[in-house]
């Protein structure tokens, strides 16, 4: 089994893979971008994909919704990973030795409180493509006086010391990852598992009050709307795609609600029906 992910080994995507596929035998397929990840599944270079879709601080990763819709892939499940950032450097280095810190701009922003005193002391913060890639650079380049902000897994894989643990400012920073694959794997993966969540995409006719009608129907069927994200449809003025996550206790009643809203929609796509994901930590 091959699982594609964005980033190099040690990225948070790999931690999410380890948590979701715990105990299963698999091979990780690193991809330079999310486009490359979806292509890996499209051209049978991978069986599954682990895709970050939203973050509790910065919100939805909008381009990935478009990639998901255009790919025709299904959502098999999800995992919520708490993002824990650590300051890594070559063995033997100390905090006082560090003159530069490399990481993804988002990771640097997430650790602003810890990094502020270092900046005052002249430490340079340098944006890079990826957290784990920064750790890889330091290890392979034997870079003295340089640190990376990355995961504990990256420290282990690239044989770096952790100079400071848990340096993220917000200790409740979670990223939601979805597991995607084709129809066949979707059906096999969910065999015997009870779904209590679904991810949908629908298009509404350009009519006043239509969205309100749809939401009222879902409410009538006791379907909880846990997320709604709208994106404009390119080339169609003032028309939108709505990406929706719903939670439910009764699968049959949920399916009845879909039958009830279909006449109100121009288009409805069910990305997946699956179990609500667990919130997990790196360790």
Q: Residues with catalytic annotation?
A: 175, 177
Distance CA 173, CA 110 (A): 9
- Label the pairing between strands 59-60 and 48-55: antiparallel
Q: Residue 239 in contact with residue 203, Cβ under 8 Å?
A: yes
Distance CA 243, CA 196 (A): 17
The CA angle 109-114-116, to the nearest 5 degrees, is: 80
Output the CA torsion sign for 158, 161, 165, 168: negative
Q: Identify which of 10, 29, 5 has the alpha carbon closest to the alpha carbon of residue 135.
A: 10
Distance CA 208, CA 257 (A): 21
């Amino acid at each position: 089994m091959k699982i594609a992910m964005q980033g190099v080994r040690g990225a948070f995507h790999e931690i999410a893979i380890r948590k979701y596929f715990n105990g299963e035998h698999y091979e990780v397929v690193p991809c330079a971008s999310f486009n490359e990840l979806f292509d890996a599944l499209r051209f049978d270079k991978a069986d599954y994909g682990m895709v970050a879709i939203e973050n509790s601080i910065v919100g939805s990763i909008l381009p990935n919704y478009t990639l998901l819709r255009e790919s025709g892939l299904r959502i098999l499940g999800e995992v919520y990973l708490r993002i824990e950032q650590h300051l890594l450097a070559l063995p033997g280095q100390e905090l006082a030795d560090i003159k530069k810190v490399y990481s993804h701009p988002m990771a640097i922003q997430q650790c602003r409180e810890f990094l502020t005193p270092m900046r005052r002391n002249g430490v340079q913060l340098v944006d890079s493509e990826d957290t784990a890639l920064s750790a890889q650079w330091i290890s392979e380049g034997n870079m003295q006086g340089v640190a990376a902000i990355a995961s504990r897994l990256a420290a282990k894989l690239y044989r770096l010391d952790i100079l400071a643990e848990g340096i993220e400012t917000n200790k409740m920073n979670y990223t939601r990852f979805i597991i995607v694959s084709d129809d066949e794997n979707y059906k096999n993966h969910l065999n015997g598992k009870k779904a209590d969540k679904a991810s949908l995409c629908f298009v509404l006719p350009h009519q006043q009050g239509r969205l309100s009608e749809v939401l009222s129907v879902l409410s009538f069927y006791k379907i909880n709307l846990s997320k709604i994200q709208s994106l404009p449809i390119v080339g169609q003025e003032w028309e939108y795609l709505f990406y929706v996550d719903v939670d439910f206790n009764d699968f049959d009643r949920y399916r009845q609600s879909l039958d009830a809203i279909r006449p109100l929609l121009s288009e409805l796509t069910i990305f997946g029906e699956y179990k609500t994901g667990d919130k997990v930590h790196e360790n």
